[in-house]
Structure 1
Amino acid sequence: MSMVYLAQPAQQQQLEWLDGGTLAMLLDGKATDGQLMMGRFDVSMGEAPPYHQHTREDEVFLLLKGTALVWCDDQEYELAEGGVVFLPKLIPHGYRITSKKADLLMINTPAGIEGMFRETGRDKSSLRPPGFEVKPDPALADKYGNVIVGPPR
């Protein structure tokens, strides 16, 4: 990459996400020359993606605020505020937010999976279509190398 990328909060794309949460797209492959993507989730109790595995990228979660349960290869862990999890590609994993609110930083390397987030969520700067709901789509997930292996935990 030949140029530093800087985006102030007002420049970061805000996506409507699962259960009424928000995913802020902080960095994507375009900004990092394909090296990584970074997103920040503002979510509420019970938010949980399907149990899944990545075939292309490793993932890191940093729980900035709140608490969560994390499953990695069918082992359950409690994640406290400030806790971090490294999830290598091909390892099935999922999480469920257990606090009233949570602030979760996610990094995936290499980049690319942000396309799935953008196609699944809704850019909050656009009008919300009637009846719109954010819900995981196995075919769309597969397009980005994200395999859904079970329901949310």
Structure 2
Amino acid sequence: MSMAYLAQPDQQQQLEWLDGGTLAILLDGKATNGQLMIGRFDVSEGEAPPYHKHTREDEVFMLIKGTALLWCDDEEMELSEGGIVYLPKDVPHAYRITSKRADLLMINTPAGIEGMFRFAGRDRSTPRPDGFEISTERMAEASEKFGNVILGPPR
């Protein structure tokens, strides 16, 4: 049975993400009975995940502020502020932020991918270990555990 769920900003987990960015976990599978995960990225120019595909979930992301390049299969597109993208599972994709800062809302259904972000990232409420980084190896391990397939380096 699903229940309504409310999480104020101070209750949302903040993860350190790629290139010093932040991912706020707004809703996760626990809050939505496994139905969806919603996250919000605050990232800087150049932030780019590896070229990858999801094997378990569909993804939607909206660029609230900023600009980015998007690759879907081998097609390159520009994503402008307010643009939204739907990426069904098994469709290879990647993006790279091209503005100084970007605010990106991500929705995945069903939930579960938040485990990958939690495994590879770092909860910002805990002390930062010396030398912490999201290495290629850490990203590959997290991806494999949670149904993502890395197809190539960031673009």
TM-score (norm 2): 0.97
Q: Deviations over 1:54-93 (max 9, x none)?
A: 0000000100000000000110000000000000100000
Asked whether the equivalents of residues 94 and 154 of structure 2 are also in contact (C-alpha less than 8 Å), the reply is yes
Please name the residue that 2:4 is paired with.
Answer: 4
**Counterpart residue number, 2:51:** 51
Whether contact under 8 Å (1:16, 1:134) holds in the other structure is no
Q: What RMSD over aligned residues (CA atoms) do the two structures have, in Å?
A: 0.8
Q: Secondary structure at the match of 1:29?
A: coil
Which residue number in structure 1 is paired with residue 146 of structure 2?
A: 144
Runs of 4+ more than 4 Å apart: none
Distance in 2, matches of 1:29 and 1:2, equals 11
8 Å contact kept, 2:59–2:106: yes
Q: State the match for 1:63 in structure 2.
A: 63
Mind listing any 5+ residue stretches in structure 1 that lack a counterpart?
none
Query: How far did residue 140 of structure 1 move?
Result: 2.1
Contact 1:36 / 1:109 at 8 angstroms: preserved in 2? yes
1:142, distance to aligned residue in structure 2 (A)? 1.1
Report what 1:79 is aligned to. Answer: 79
Unmatched segments (≥5 aa) in structure 2: none
Amino acid at match of 1:15: L
User: 2:135 corresponds to which residue?
Assistant: 135
> Aligned pair 1:42/2:42, yes or no?
yes
Three-state SS of the structure 1 residue aligned to 2:125 is: coil
Tell me the distance in 1 between the aligned counterparts of 2:19 and 2:47: 6
Deviation at 1:15, TM superposition (A): 0.2
Q: Percent identity?
A: 76
CA contact (8 A) 2:2 2:32 kept: no
